[in-house]
Structure 1
């Protein structure tokens, strides 16, 4: 049978050899990087020219007085691969000059002035000194100070002080420092200066990741949001997709489950733009994948591309938006080792409130009588339930049997650093998580290596390697759905009998006992992702890039149901025979990308060109085998089962995508911005002649804040308006072969009494299927005010047409699945707003507040005349939201006054004995004999009768009108506090069966049914009790729940130990913290959690979890 890494010997061998060669090259480069080498072989050149050649070949810069060097004699040098020090010693030999190296700055002086040599120029007439601080008076070391119009300059020392000799008393100094706004200061009449630098707004210098590159945030013309993982605090995120929840306006992330190993979020960007797969494109360091395939601790940032202008460069896969995941990389800094860990306890955020045994039995009897049956539980039975001493008459809360507190722990190591020629980051992760549902566990190991090496003159060649591997094991009971189902058991069912045997619930099974006996489903997910890239600078401004990515994923699953016996309450036993299903799925993907970039700046013009080619291939294979009749519960190998019971199945598919794309970016004076993108994709999903599509976009921006007429408005540091239009494609439909005839196996036929195997066409193909297309327009504004307040607002229109639907076909065409046709249309439009405020107070307390809100409407505009298309309690209806809830609208309850009966005035006839007849004019329901206390449905067409074909309508929707969040960060003297709120408004959940319907199967019933209608209690909206499925299973607004909520998503308090204390321990940073995830939820929803799965209509949702964690972040 397949192992953890099956059939991948050649893959692993190739990776090993590649790694060996790369490491060898990196070591060679690293050895050279600690002493930068230059080559100068020229005769009779000026010293100034020598210094220029050194700057060209190294990362050093020179400060000197031009007048000093202009009169110096020329030199001749013959040096190859010499250190900078060797070159300078040879250059200044027998000259009056000397030098001093300060970090990456080299100061050149005349030797006769060495007494004043420090970090200033001494051959001037006047000295100026001073100190540079931030707005709060804290000294800033390393600030660059230059005399305007000269190369004379210096940097501040560790105390923020400087000393500089200037050419004359009326000089102007330029003071600059990373992260602060540069200033010009006059020295007229001054010899001591105190300079306060103002912190630059983050958005003025922030660089964000966009399609195939990066861009300054201030120059963006599209709708792009960036989420830095460090801004999220230390939340116990086990899935990366959950990190986006509440972080970006216009992004709806639904975390529908708290399952260990399955708590990822479903993400929609700017509504639902298709009736097929609406997932956004996710790129992890450039390679398509799933967000939950990457360890959250490995991530540096997310970039969310929301509009057509930012997404069009990805063409046919970008119609639902793009999420670019950038993982952590090394930098040219000393080695840093980081260790992050947390330990936590989980419990359900909420469990439905249900009845105890006495309530259940009492109300069941009432429902039986209302249905014309005899009471099931006698007064003696109910007394035994109340007493609780008889094991066969229990009061068991099965929700608490199946759901319990669960532990978890997480560990992550990151070793990073670099030199001038080699940057590296190595990450290891381990997660061990027990699920709150009995039998559920998950553990995951991850490894990531990101390497960047620089070669040749001026580091013009860059080689990079990203290698990621993971292995995760998810365990649940083999019948997880039944386990969640049986968690709703009525309390009257005993778990065991007096003999200690598990009791069959309702005469069927006991899934809790089966789990204890060894019911187990295990899925081992193994993954390898590799990306190798080369970047070569051909000329100044012209670079070529080539990358190759490969990903391989295997899911090997085993589901074992054990030999298990349950005792029946009336005598006898149920015997389950052991069976095993063994499945193996493998998916692989390759991606080849070639890019050519050109950047040119001249005068006030900036041009940025990109041309690219991409080729991708996807392959999927799946095989499954089944056998039963295992002798015992320990021999869980497929070959040990009864061969006569075996079945097997398999499938295989392939997909290809070829693309050409380009981008033109232009700006004038950093004020007027323009960008155009185009991509042409060819997909194997479509038939010949329909495979190719072109997807263009255009965008422009105007930075009003840079205009001269805004210079006097000091409280506005940045103001920009932008607009975009573009067309995107979607080829991510539900079938890879919608345009081709597909043969399906298992189509057996009886010939002469013998069943013969066969294959057949079971669905019709349509060779005319082609791309779904999405056209989007966006208008936005970005502003930075008062140097600490930023806002971003966007308004968008998004139209999708040619949506692929399986339109019903006449029955005369045969029992085929209908073909896909490009017939549907959907519209989304909305507004998004985001604001942030930062403040540092006089007592050094730091405050950072961010909030965002979005309002999006979604509507199906065309279904080719087939509206509504009904699927259970949902439907596609023209003029309504995608997959809206569909059914009857409740208009109240029938009351006794709505009926007549024989001897209507005879008080001796009890309500139970009456023969009710609806009064004339009271609306009746088709196929539904209404009685007092039953649900009354609205007669929408006014014909006096409620019918399925005329009176059903949209009764709710599964996507919110409004999504919002807010986060507050406080830091003071080592303490930090984070509060994160997230919520949605205007969303529904449909709750039926188990708990929500009265006495559904053998399930418990919600405690709200105590407030049901009775002849003595008519002032309620809860109908009478009944066991009649025809009445209680009708889809209607009665089962609609308000799923709006406000959640305290995270509360965190941390403390960082003082630096002086850590210096003695040789620790760079040590922080401890406590966190509560999903601390409180404010909602009217009566189910498990308002974030139930989209489409879930029952009580088998896996509850969300509240997580209490303590953790530590340590840097060495």
Structure 2
């Protein structure tokens, strides 16, 4: 038989060795014999080189890769003493690398021995930064960009990646309003507030719009924030609020690394609300009653008799006169938090890979009743993360690469069926005097007679459960093709992504009977005291079995990007780069009839002359079906420039002292399409009700226009100006200063000046693009890096940020001249708070009678005295004034310090916020809900007479005149300084690590939200919390170990 011929034969040459494929043809038969590797030319002379690789602490680095650059596969790794031996060509270049350090390339010509020191990766962060759809050298960067690396991120044991950014990135404000496991997302603001509508920055993970909160910190390589128009214009209609770019790790280690990280710790609240004992609580309640009843009748009695007060004081009849600290009885002080990660990092000649698998557990604070249940009501979170990033070279020249990314997470968030805010509110307002505990002797739920009825113990243990199973799978496939063999500097890239996200809700519901205690003075119990019995109340509630219901949400997201890149240097001085990108994405939600679609183009063109003068143009052209057809697409350009003065020849005489001086400026236009959850506001809405026929006396069938669309609907536009200065001193101190000014136009608002006379309700009229806001400020960042001795290495980073916004136009109706302030929004910051000006306390009735009258509840002695700002003799809304600031700080700052001494390291982060204020929401500090420690210093005639400190107005069992409106008294200064992070670590000496064949072993302990200093008047709550029923912010103390093989 004739053998089929194996096709294609060619001679393929490589620089290291020429691979010749030989074939033999006999008649019609072609046989493939074998692959023979031989030199076409005489072999180059070779030599043996030796050396040692160390870190900046002079410690040998075990497992560092030493590779001959031009000979794929010829390499070795350093041993336990950091030494290596390698045979190379006479003039070879070797590349030395190790994960976490900067690669070095060394020419071996004329040398055989080498002493090599690798610098930590933090040293190279300033060299290249991630920007929109690529990277740029920081020396030629014209925009306002800040970045941090994985080492800084991992110093925080916080469960949420977003809050690890607090205080580290100039220009980014991260505020945590809740610490509840699985529901602790941070509020992110880029350079403060610029609009009254959606303010979230755009978040991209590896170039794809994705969620930030559930990413495992061990997966992250760098996080960059883009702040000005130059850096965000490519995102067009979605760039006005800034952009956060998360870049995950990829394979870098030419000898595979396996790393295991294990952490275990405990979490608690940063602040625990105080609780009074029953005697003090009852005494205050009587005091409040006497304030409300200054002249009681003969039959009027205070809530607690002298006999009852004595029982509470002595605690000698707890079965009737209870004494409870419900916070301690229903909540655990410390609960566990654990995290485990296993990572694999490697890079061969054709394949690079990074794989991470992670697990996180956050315990819950509720104390769970040991009663056997078929469910667990504890509030906790379990999260499983996975990520695999794989890069594959598809041809011998490695000009064609495939990029494969797969990632996802599964979260199980569990808790009682009743929400945590409701439960915390009940705990705080549960009377400590309720007898004797949460249950009757027969195990029924006990409700204190006349108390704030619902039992928080029962809400936790007897109401059922809610379990959220959240999952997300993200997949991206990309191709990169370097076309330099055709056009030098040209490359192209295609990425297609598909993401899914789902939440399954499993709700178990049950109800329970309400019982109360009854004291019968006509009978005696076994102890000789009044007989105690229990009776059921609220017959509409019964003990029911658990019933289970299910619901779910699902969404999918598609994104495709195609880009062409150009990067070339002409005559060693003229650097030209260019980018053209097409993008289309679609978000499909099961709850929505139509998908959310975005389509657009982006381009970047930059020119740098001799690294001294840089010009850059960026633009985005994109749109969305959310807008009216004629306004569906928009063009968002920006221009920027930079001058590296330190590269000028005239700068050389001072370059030893000032090694860097750079000026940059940018101006451009970007947009914002975040306008709320209502879609297609440009369309009218017509509804039909009823059926049949309508007559003169009956209206059975109607068709009505319930919403008038806005045919001119469009996006918000932000005109951004940024001026930057970068200074480097003594090759150790770098300072960056940015000044910014933004004018936001076309903000979507509801018209206030449209009169009702047009015959339709204002709710049926679409909002209009009329609002205007100005936002301006500055950012200063300083970084000091110094090796003080061969064993002592110091890195200090600090930043301070200021933002100030002002509403220029809101279509706000001007109030009449009888108002002290005629506008409530126009001319003030977004979120400006308003209240009455408190000028003291009324000392007696005579002073009250001589003063202005109060609109509402009449004041009593000890109530707050408010200034009559408009002098009309009435205290009402016309006397309101701006009070404090908004709940987003104007000043934020961070100071990070890292010290490495031999094998020890210590790092910490201080974070602060100033010019931020607010009054407590939820139940507030009002005493008619509950009594707390600060009520012990409430106004009384005796305390006022003696000059004692007074922390609160006269107590009341109802809403008093002091509390009808917000005021300067209850508006608290929420400025604070926080020890955000502290970490202490120890790296085992390399010779000890080698005993278990490990490259590195590190033990560490770290903490999060450890100490907070603030100026709060009522210190029961964290300064970032705006409601006293919110789940408190968490403090974490953690211990961990990392082993790398």
For normalisation by structure 2, the TM-score amounts to 0.83
Q: Per the alignment, do residues 512 and 195 of structure 1 end up closer, same or farther by CA in structure 2, a change over 3 Å counting? A: closer
CA distance in 2, matches of 1:264, 1:1033: 33
Q: Does 1:1090 align with 2:1027?
A: no
The match for 1:444 is: 383
The match for 1:1022 is: 952
Q: 1:63-82, aligned counterparts within 5 Å?
A: none
CA distance in 1, matches of 2:55, 2:477: 43
CA distance in 2, matches of 1:1010, 1:946: 28
The match for 1:693 is: 634
Question: Could you tell me which of 491, 503, 521 is aligned with 2:446?
Answer: 503
The match for 2:770 is: 823
Question: Could you tell me which of 565, 581, 586 is aligned with 1:597?
Answer: 565
* SS of corresponding position for 1:568: strand
CA distance in 2, matches of 1:316, 1:938: 47
CA distance in 2, matches of 1:449, 1:198: 28
Q: Does 1:684 align with 2:625?
A: yes
The match for 1:355 is: 276
Deviations 1:1070-1094 (A, max 9, x none): 111122221111113235543435x
Gap regions ≥5 residues in structure 2: 1-7, 24-33, 70-74, 368-377, 519-534, 817-822
Give the superposition deviation at 1:779.
Answer: 0.9
CA distance in 2, matches of 1:253, 1:572: 49
CA distance in 1, matches of 2:878, 2:308: 46
CA distance in 2, matches of 1:1017, 1:828: 46
The match for 1:485 is: 425
- 8 Å CA contact retained: 1:346, 1:436: no
Give the superposition deviation at 1:951.
Answer: 3.4
CA distance in 2, matches of 1:1064, 1:592: 49
- 8 Å CA contact retained: 2:726, 2:734: yes
Give the superposition deviation at 1:727.
Answer: 0.8
Q: 1:527-546, aligned counterparts within 5 Å?
A: 527-538=472-483, 539=486, 540-546=488-494
CA distance in 2, matches of 1:995, 1:443: 32
Question: Could you tell me which of 286, 297, 313 is aligned with 2:234?
Answer: 313
Q: Does 1:427 align with 2:356?
A: yes
Q: Does 1:796 align with 2:723?
A: no
Question: Could you tell me which of 287, 291, 296 is aligned with 2:212?
Answer: 291
Question: Could you tell me which of 40, 52, 55 is aligned with 1:91?
Answer: 40
Q: Per the alignment, do residues 76 and 1061 of structure 1 end up closer, same or farther by CA in structure 2, a change over 3 Å counting? A: closer
User: How many aligned positions are there?
Assistant: 948
* SS of corresponding position for 1:297: helix
The match for 1:588 is: 556
CA distance in 1, matches of 2:906, 2:361: 27
Q: 1:315-334, aligned counterparts within 5 Å?
A: 315-331=236-252, 333-334=254-255
Q: 1:773-784, aligned counterparts within 5 Å?
A: 773-784=717-728
CA distance in 2, matches of 1:234, 1:1100: 30
* SS of corresponding position for 1:861: strand
Q: Per the alignment, do residues 368 and 1071 of structure 1 end up closer, same or farther by CA in structure 2, a change over 3 Å counting? A: same
Q: Does 1:576 align with 2:541?
A: yes
CA distance in 1, matches of 2:344, 2:53: 34
Q: Per the alignment, do residues 460 and 498 of structure 1 end up closer, same or farther by CA in structure 2, a change over 3 Å counting? A: closer
Give the superposition deviation at 1:751.
Answer: 10
Give the superposition deviation at 1:1010.
Answer: 1.6
Q: Does 1:282 align with 2:176?
A: no
Q: Does 1:229 align with 2:170?
A: no
CA distance in 2, matches of 1:518, 1:949: 46
Q: Per the alignment, do residues 798 and 89 of structure 1 end up closer, same or farther by CA in structure 2, a change over 3 Å counting? A: same
Question: Could you tell me which of 582, 600, 610 is aligned with 1:613?
Answer: 582
CA distance in 1, matches of 2:355, 2:87: 42
Q: Does 1:395 align with 2:323?
A: yes
Give the superposition deviation at 1:689.
Answer: 0.5
* SS of corresponding position for 1:458: coil
Q: Per the alignment, do residues 204 and 602 of structure 1 end up closer, same or farther by CA in structure 2, a change over 3 Å counting? A: farther
CA distance in 1, matches of 2:171, 2:95: 37
CA distance in 2, matches of 1:1090, 1:858: 25
RMSD between aligned residues: 3.9
* Larger displacement relative to structure 2 (322-331 or 761-770): 761-770
Q: 1:744-783, aligned counterparts within 5 Å?
A: 762-783=706-727
* Larger displacement relative to structure 2 (923-932 or 200-209): 200-209
Deviations 1:128-185 (A, max 9, x none): x999999998999999999xxxxxxx99997799999999xxxxx9999995999999
- 8 Å CA contact retained: 1:204, 1:718: no
* SS of corresponding position for 1:91: coil
Give the superposition deviation at 1:557.
Answer: 1.7
The match for 2:313 is: 386
Q: 1:110-149, aligned counterparts within 5 Å?
A: 118=47
- 8 Å CA contact retained: 1:384, 1:393: yes
Q: 1:43-58, aligned counterparts within 5 Å?
A: 54-55=14-15
Q: Per the alignment, do residues 754 and 283 of structure 1 end up closer, same or farther by CA in structure 2, a change over 3 Å counting? A: farther
Give the superposition deviation at 1:363.
Answer: 1.5
CA distance in 1, matches of 2:119, 2:650: 24
* Larger displacement relative to structure 2 (602-611 or 350-359): 350-359
Q: Per the alignment, do residues 895 and 757 of structure 1 end up closer, same or farther by CA in structure 2, a change over 3 Å counting? A: farther
- 8 Å CA contact retained: 1:130, 1:162: no
Give the superposition deviation at 1:76.
Answer: 13
CA distance in 2, matches of 1:159, 1:244: 38
- 8 Å CA contact retained: 1:280, 1:320: yes
- 8 Å CA contact retained: 2:56, 2:790: no
CA distance in 2, matches of 1:524, 1:449: 22
Q: Per the alignment, do residues 1091 and 582 of structure 1 end up closer, same or farther by CA in structure 2, a change over 3 Å counting? A: farther
For normalisation by structure 1, the TM-score amounts to 0.78
CA distance in 1, matches of 2:701, 2:894: 58
CA distance in 1, matches of 2:184, 2:770: 35
CA distance in 2, matches of 1:314, 1:765: 27
Q: Per the alignment, do residues 279 and 924 of structure 1 end up closer, same or farther by CA in structure 2, a change over 3 Å counting? A: same
The match for 1:626 is: none
Q: Which runs of at least 4 in structure 1 moved beyond 6 Å after TM superposition?
A: 75-80, 85-88, 129-146, 154-167, 173-178, 180-187, 191-201, 743-760
Give the superposition deviation at 1:309.
Answer: 0.6
Q: RCO (CA 8 Å, sep 6+): is it higher in 1 or 2?
A: 2
The match for 1:5 is: none
Gap regions ≥5 residues in structure 1: 1-37, 43-52, 63-74, 99-107, 110-116, 121-128, 147-153, 168-172, 623-650, 870-874, 901-915
The match for 1:946 is: 875
CA distance in 2, matches of 1:774, 1:222: 16
CA distance in 1, matches of 2:52, 2:159: 47
Q: 1:333-348, aligned counterparts within 5 Å?
A: 333-348=254-269
CA distance in 2, matches of 1:729, 1:416: 39
Give the superposition deviation at 1:501.
Answer: 2.9
CA distance in 2, matches of 1:475, 1:183: 55
Q: 1:231-246, aligned counterparts within 5 Å?
A: 231-246=152-167
- 8 Å CA contact retained: 1:955, 1:1036: no
The match for 1:1013 is: 939
The match for 2:183 is: 262
- 8 Å CA contact retained: 2:636, 2:669: yes
Q: Per the alignment, do residues 678 and 952 of structure 1 end up closer, same or farther by CA in structure 2, a change over 3 Å counting? A: same
* SS of corresponding position for 1:793: strand
Q: Per the alignment, do residues 204 and 270 of structure 1 end up closer, same or farther by CA in structure 2, a change over 3 Å counting? A: closer
Deviations 1:198-219 (A, max 9, x none): 9799368622111011111222
Q: Does 1:986 align with 2:921?
A: no
- 8 Å CA contact retained: 2:792, 2:901: yes
The match for 1:716 is: 658
- 8 Å CA contact retained: 2:67, 2:96: yes
CA distance in 2, matches of 1:387, 1:502: 26
Q: Does 1:523 align with 2:454?
A: no
CA distance in 1, matches of 2:302, 2:551: 48
